[in-house]
Amino acid sequence: MMTDEERAAEALATVQDHQDRARRAARLPWWVYLVIFVVTAGFTAVNDFVDLDGGKFVAGVVLGLLLIALAVGARLRSAPLSHARGVQQRQEFVPWVFVVVAVVGGAGAWLLSRYGTDAAADLAGALGLRDYPYTVAGVLFGLAFTLLFALSQALLAVARRRGDR
């Protein structure tokens, strides 16, 4: 026969196991990071291959996709990706995570405004892709945005583990 302490310990272990499984299920899959990278790089690289009219079309497509995502998010009251995966993680705001991501993003934006197009053109020339500076810039932007998003997800996971809310 089990004592109250043993039953409590077993119940606690069951709850912790359930929480771990739920936490793993709520993680973003690897392909989300790939999509962020490909979309960012692709929409920047398209400037090497289309004229101004094509650029307006691409901008319109991006704006349309953003509006659709916003409408779906407002209608479902959750992130569209979370809803599609069937795991609707609680949206939480952790101030120190926001500050860290804002500082890193601000530093990146400052570097971009200071060195962005010239550095990408120089790198494209060094790689032998002188005719494709926007493609090189797109790959760099895609990498930067993907890493910034990954940083925000990692910091939120740390905050959840520490219990910061």
Instruction: Classify residue 70: in a domain, yes or no.
Output: yes
Instruction: Classify residue 10: in a domain, yes or no.
Output: no
- Looking at the structure of the chain, the number of domains it has is 1
pLDDT digits (tens, 9 = 90+) for 42-58: 777 777 666 655 556 66
Instruction: Classify residue 27: in a domain, yes or no.
Output: no
pLDDT digits (tens, 9 = 90+) for 54-100: 556 666 666 777 777 767 666 665 665 665 655 555 556 778 888 88
Q: pLDDT above 90 covers what percent of the chain?
A: 0
Rounded to 5°, the CA angle 128-42-101 comes to 105
pLDDT digits (tens, 9 = 90+) for 144-153: 888 888 888 8
Instruction: Classify residue 140: in a domain, yes or no.
Output: yes
Instruction: Classify residue 26: in a domain, yes or no.
Output: no
Contacts of residue 46, Cβ cutoff 8 Å, sequence gap at least 6: 54, 55, 58, 134
**Element housing 109 (H / E):** helix 95-126
Domain limits at 129?
32-162
